Amino acid sequence: MKILVAIKRVVDHNVRIRVRPDGTGVETAGVRMSMNPFCKHAVEAAVQLSEAGHGDEIVIVSIGPKVANDVILTALAMGAHRGILIETDAELETLAIAKLLAKVVEEEQPDIVLLGKQAVDDDSNHVGQMLAALADRPQATFASEIKVVGAGLEVSREVDSGRQTLSLPMPAIVTADLRLNTPRNAALPMVMKARSKPLAVRPVAEFGVDLAPRLTVEKISPPAERVAGKTVASVTELAAFIADDVAQMEAL
């Protein structure tokens, strides 16, 4: 069985981002970058499936600038077997990303494609679902448990009302939520070994996909600032504040 995992390099999730004053975007120069946390859960899920005898080969794919090789190396150090970087310096929309990944799926014919449910930079939460449509495969998004059952998967998903379990035939697309697993930190020997694993760098033009953006981002602005609050000294004052606020609340 072959598992394809698509990962993204993003501003590290612990970095407090700064919006550029000219409204063109978020400052990324000199900012720590790392693998999107949800993608790490997807890689870990693939490695665990492989360790349980369900994946002979794990292929990692990422789309981005040359330096995105570093997140592929991280995934290889976690236990994946080979990597593909689709190289581009352009910031692509999720639809273009999904189209590029659909080409890779066509070439690689994986039984399972794993992705993070969303990237913590644009918070889109699109790519897995779009890829599922383009590859005409069933999808299970926001997965918190994945089991291989016969020729299919049973996936528990985190939904608004609690948890839901879907059964889907393979090949299938699954997007990872945070409670799917605890991603491992690769030990040094694995990090060294990752450097000798195959990593193909392919120019984006090779895929013949129309990458023109559909939407225009007019500006990126900082969120509205909250007015600084105050600290009260007693429960009585706090209760009075709450009682007052509740009394003023508009009935819906």
Partner 1 sequence: MSVLVLADHDLGVLSPATARIVSAASTLGPVDLLVVADDAAAIAQSAASLSGVDKVLTLKGYLVADSLATQLSTLAVRYHYVVASAGSVGKDVVPRLAATLDLMPVTDVVKILGPTSFERPIYAGNAVQTVTDTQDKHLLTLRASAFRPAAGGNAAPIEALDGSVQAVARLLSSDRTESDTADLATAQIVVGGGIALGSAENFQLVENLAKKLGAAVGATRAAVDAGYAPNDWQVGQTGKIIAPDLYIAIGISGALQHLAGIQGAKKIVAINTDPEAPLVKLADIALIGDLFEIIPQLTAELDRLGVKR
For partner 1, the binding residues in 99-138 under the rule CB under 8 A are: 117-118, 120-134, 138
Of 1 and 134, nearer to partner 1 (C-beta) is 134
- 3-state secondary structure at position 66: helix
Q: Which of residues 145-184 bind partner 1 (CB under 8 A)?
A: 154, 157-169, 177-179
Decide: 112 and 91 in contact? Cβ < 8 Å. no
**Shortest Å, Cβ 165 to partner 1:** 4
- 3-state secondary structure at position 102: helix
Of 192 and 238, nearer to partner 1 (C-beta) is 238
Q: Which of residues 202-241 bind partner 1 (CB under 8 A)?
A: 213-223, 226-241
**Shortest Å, Cβ 146 to partner 1:** 13
Q: Degrees (nearest 5) of the Cα angle 132, 137, 140?
A: 65
Decide: 80 and 46 in contact? Cβ < 8 Å. yes
Of 92 and 204, nearer to partner 1 (C-beta) is 92
Q: Which of residues 55-84 bind partner 1 (CB under 8 A)?
A: none
Part of the chain binding partner 1 (CB under 8 A), chosen from 10-18, 56-64, 65-73, 83-91:
10-18
**Shortest Å, Cβ 8 to partner 1:** 14
**Shortest Å, Cβ 52 to partner 1:** 20
**C-alpha to C-alpha distance for 201 and 91, rounded to whole angstroms:** 18
Measure Cα distances from 62 to 36, 104, 119 in Å.
11, 11, 13
**C-alpha to C-alpha distance for 136 and 132, rounded to whole angstroms:** 6
Of 189 and 208, nearer to partner 1 (C-beta) is 208
CA contacts within 13 A on the Cβ side of 96: 19
Of 108 and 122, nearer to partner 1 (C-beta) is 122
